[in-house]
Each structure stands twice: as structure tokens, then as C-alpha cells.
Amino acid sequence: MPRQFFVGGNFKMNGTIKSVTDIVTNLNNAKLDPNVEVVVAPSALYLLLVREHLRKEIEVAAQNVYDKPNGAFTGEISVEQLKSSGINWTLLGHSERRVILQEDDKFVASKTKAALDGGVSVILCCGESLEQREAGKTIEVVNNQLKAVAAEVKDWSKIVIAYEPIWAIGTGKVATTEQAQEVHAAIREWLKKDISPEVAESTRIIYGGSVSEKNCKELAKQPDVDGFLVGGASLKPAFVDIINSNQ
């Protein structure tokens, strides 16, 4: 079965009630390719607002979730709280959390397990820094990030892998189609060898890092690019063009 094209929008810590409502209205009125699975991730504060007003065929994701069920964890959000709010997805392992908040591979893996166990699907982010790329360590870094998850998780059917080279995020410096395809193919090869050929065939591997309405069509043509995780451009009307880039 062909992999369904997937486009995620990561609003990060952006927006107000007014601007997030405008984005929702824009998406509600847009003509979207019905073959694309779309998931948007507003700030935690706006999850309920977006879930209530956004057209139902678009899913809503948290940008993070904690790995404990409940208790004295000030500022955190549980998987059960997401589920009870109609939020069926979460991002995990975004490089901004790995770098700024120092989340390591093990913690990301533990949160991935908690999310999946609680019925929340995961957009699992991975990717290398510029220094690691220049040292020829891209594949090793990405594989290690995924191996940590494989140690905790057996079922990959509710995971979308987002390859996001750190040097391309929010910089306007997009990976070339060759660079993206090379790493996506290597991730698929790793899935084939370390998990199973079936999981390798069915898992969506999406690209993130300065995706725009200008570069998305070429990237979408790559055989192992199954969609995008979009940051900055998901706040703009052009997000619709990115969603429709596989047509």
C-alpha cells in the first residue's frame, strides 16, 4: 500500500488567540488535497481552541508530552490529558527541545513509549547539527536517535519520523533534494534492517527545515520523502500550498 502523504504544521511558541483563529479559518476555507493527512501543533494553551474550531479531518498535535501519568510535575502535560481533550498526536524530540531544554535520546524514547501506550500518535523528530554533518556523522546521529526509541517501542505503526537537520530549521537554508533523499533512504534502510521490511515500507518519513511553498514540490518528488513538518510557513496562508504540494 502506498504511504499516505503527511504534512504537519508546528506553530512553536507563536500566535495569539486572534492569529491562531485566523490560521484555523484559513485552513477551514481552503481546498485541501483529500489524499493528504494534515496535523497541526499549536502551543499547549491553544490546543482546545484549535480542536474545537478546526475542520475535523485535520488532526491536532501537542508539541510535547510528559512520560509520567500524573502527579507533581509542574508545567507538564500528560498523555491522558491530551486524549481527554481530543488531541490524538504529539510532536516529540524536536531539536529545539533537544538542544535548548537538553532532552536526551533516552528521555525522548521514554516519552514516545508513554504517548503510544496511551493512544497518542507521535511525530518523532530527529536530525543532526551542522557540526555533526560536517564531521560526516549525520546517519550515525539519526540512527542513534531512532535506536533509543526502538529500545522502548515495538509497534511503529503510530509513528511518523520527521527528519529535520538542525542547520535547516528556521534558517531559510533548506536541505537540497539530494541531501534530504539520502538521509530519508538511510533511515528507511535502518528501519528495514533493525525493525522489519514491513515497517520500513509503511513508515512515513517526512522532511522539516525551511520548507516553503517554493521548495516543497521538488522535495515532494523524492521517493523517500513522504511529506513535511513545517515550522514558520505553517503560520502563513502558503501552508495550504505545501499541503497540496504532492498533487
Q: Which residues bind ligand PEP (CB under 6 A)?
A: 10, 12, 164, 169-170, 208-211, 229-233
The minimum distance between CB 192 and ligand PEP, in angstroms, equals 26
Minimum gap (Å) between residue 91 Cβ and ligand PEP: 8
Within 8 A by CB and 6+ apart from 117, the residues are 79
| Backbone φ and ψ of 150, nearest 5° | -60, -25
Say whether 164 is catalytic.
yes
Which of residues 77 and 211 has its CB atom nearest to ligand PEP in the complex?
211
| Structure letter (DSSP) for residue 206 | E
User: How far is Cα 170 from Cα 186, in angstroms, rounded to an integer?
Assistant: 24
Q: 195 or 238: whose CB is closer to ligand PEP?
A: 238
Residues 37, 59, 128, 164: which is the catalytic one? 164
Nearer residue to ligand PEP within complex by CB, 149 or 242: 242
Using Cβ positions, the residue closest to ligand PEP within the complex turns out to be 231
- The separation between CA 104 and the C-alpha centre of its own chain, rounded to angstroms, equals 17
Closest CA to 91 of 111, 71, 68: 111
184 has catalytic annotation: no
Catalytic residue among 37, 59, 94, 128: 94
- Contact present, 242 and 228 (Cβ < 8 Å): yes
Residues carrying an active site annotation = 94, 164
